[in-house]
Amino acid sequence: MSQRQREEVVVIGGGYAGTLAAIRLAGRARRRVHVTMVDPKTEFVQRLRLHQVATGQRIAAPAYRKFFGRKVDLVRGWAEEIDSDAGAVRLADGSRLPFDRLIYAAGSTIDTFSVPGAAEHAYRLNDIPSARRLDHALRYSGEGREVAVVGGGMTGIEMATEIAERYSHLRVKLVTSGTLGGWLSDRARDYLRQHVGRRGIELVERARVQGVEPRHLTLADGSEVPFGLSIWCGGFVASPLAANSGLEVDELGRLAVDRSLRSVSHPQIVAAGDTAGTPPFVAGAPLRMCCQITGPTGAQAADTVAAEVRGREPKPLRFGYIHQPISLGRRDGLIQFVDRGDRPTKRMLTGRRAALYKEVISASAVPAIKFERWVPGSSVWPFKEPKAETVAELPATAGS
């Protein structure tokens, strides 16, 4: 098949999901597609390590070119609209990228939109520049400065414990609307509380933050939590691009998809990562925005497109959860093992072994993407079909 007959596939977003999808598709359907990925950056950001960047640690940021070679074209830009009727992505500089098929992997950001003042007065971990700004502020914080981390999900826990380990002279507060680790097993929750206590982190629980002022948080009960520096870790919000482009989205703004991750309103668009809605599983749990789904959905998006360009019906996504790995600084960790439906089991791993486990998981993403370039389709995940009854009682998602 000549270059001219190859289908144009555009991938929006070079996070874990989009980067994997782009290189896997370029390898698996080499003669049938031409793949272009669009992202404002030229380097891959290991987003799950941003709390490490914010505490002064050096993190590798490989150039996309190292992943792609000549297999995928990279366009540096910001997608402002998906014009599905015309089959083109409109970029912020006014140019247009035509596509026959699209992989939508624009990811998520920390939600600073829902609470007034959060965007203005709190630091956040959305990208390398924002993490470096926080690093600078922490580095030059004097003895006893109060640092309020807002959000008791995994990102907030990882951020607060990383700061407490690194800067023992600071007074770290972890502010959460529920109770700490409320979604974990009893033993795991106890372990987490003990760690937080040992590190001297002050817990402010059942505290719903309604506003962020320059020097304090305002809670729903009218009380205030003073701070010298605040960090907003209050959950993720999906990219608004799909909704703004008139595509059908779910209640979280993620693309509404079928079992092969194709858009239910525009099947030539396939979702991956944090912007993929939950497919109508026969059995399983809702997808939550986390790294655990980015590999399987990125691979699935590539395989769905690869099947379709061959005129075949794509297979459905097969996915089940395994664990919730939480770093507690560099020397401690907590791995809560879960069933395929994301519910905590009695099994857990703690201490240095857990820190090592988490490090291995975090470090595996980049080599896995690189390996796809040489062995397309090499990323596979263990999967066991969950029992059908797990569908009936889906867990509350912990969020990251």
Taking Cα atoms as reference points, which of 228, 230, 225, 196 lies closest to residue 208? 225
For the chain, the straight-line distance linking the first and the last C-alpha, in angstroms and rounded, comes to 44
Nearest CA among 256, 302, 361 for reference residue 20: 302
- Sole binder of ligand FAD in the list 289, 338, 355, 366 (CB under 6 A): 289
H-type alpha helices, the chain:
16-28, 50-53, 64-68, 118-121, 128-139, 154-166, 186-198, 241-244, 291-309, 351-374
Give the separation between CA 55 and CA 163, rounded to whole angstroms. 7
Structure tokens at 174: 């972890």
| Residue 163 or 219 with smaller CB distance to ligand FAD | 163
Nearer to ligand FAD by Cβ, of 273 and 277: the residue is 273
For ligand FAD, the binding residue among 23, 26, 48, 365 (CB under 6 A) is: 48
Q: Is 17 in the site for ligand FAD (CB under 6 A)?
A: yes
List 39's β-bridge partners, or say none: 76
Stretch that binds ligand FAD, among 8-16, 57-65, 95-103, 346-354 (CB under 6 A): 8-16
| Per-residue contact flags (x/-) with ligand FAD for residues 293 to 332, judged by CB under 6 A | -x------------------------------x-------
State how far the Cα of 35 lies from the Cα of 41, in Å rounded to an integer.
17
- Window of 95-103, 175-183, 288-296, 349-357 that interacts with ligand FAD by CB under 6 A: 288-296
Q: How far is CA 117 from CA 4, 121, 143, 213, 296, in A?
A: 51, 6, 26, 6, 36
Q: Would you count residue 355 as binding ligand FAD (CB under 6 A)?
A: no
Looking at 26, 68, 107, 219, which residue binds ligand FAD (CB under 6 A)? 107
DSSP 72-98: EEEEE--EEEEETTTTEEEETTS-EEE
Q: Strand pairing of 323-327 and 72-76?
A: unpaired
Per-residue binding string, ligand FAD, 18-47, x by CB under 6 A, is: x-------------------xxxx-----x
Question: Which segment (95-103, 104-112, 190-198, 372-380) binds ligand FAD by CB under 6 A?
Answer: 104-112
12 binds ligand FAD (CB under 6 A): yes
Residues that bind ligand FAD (CB under 6 A): 12-18, 38-41, 47-48, 50-51, 78-79, 105-108, 125, 154-155, 158, 239, 241, 273-274, 289-292, 294, 325, 400
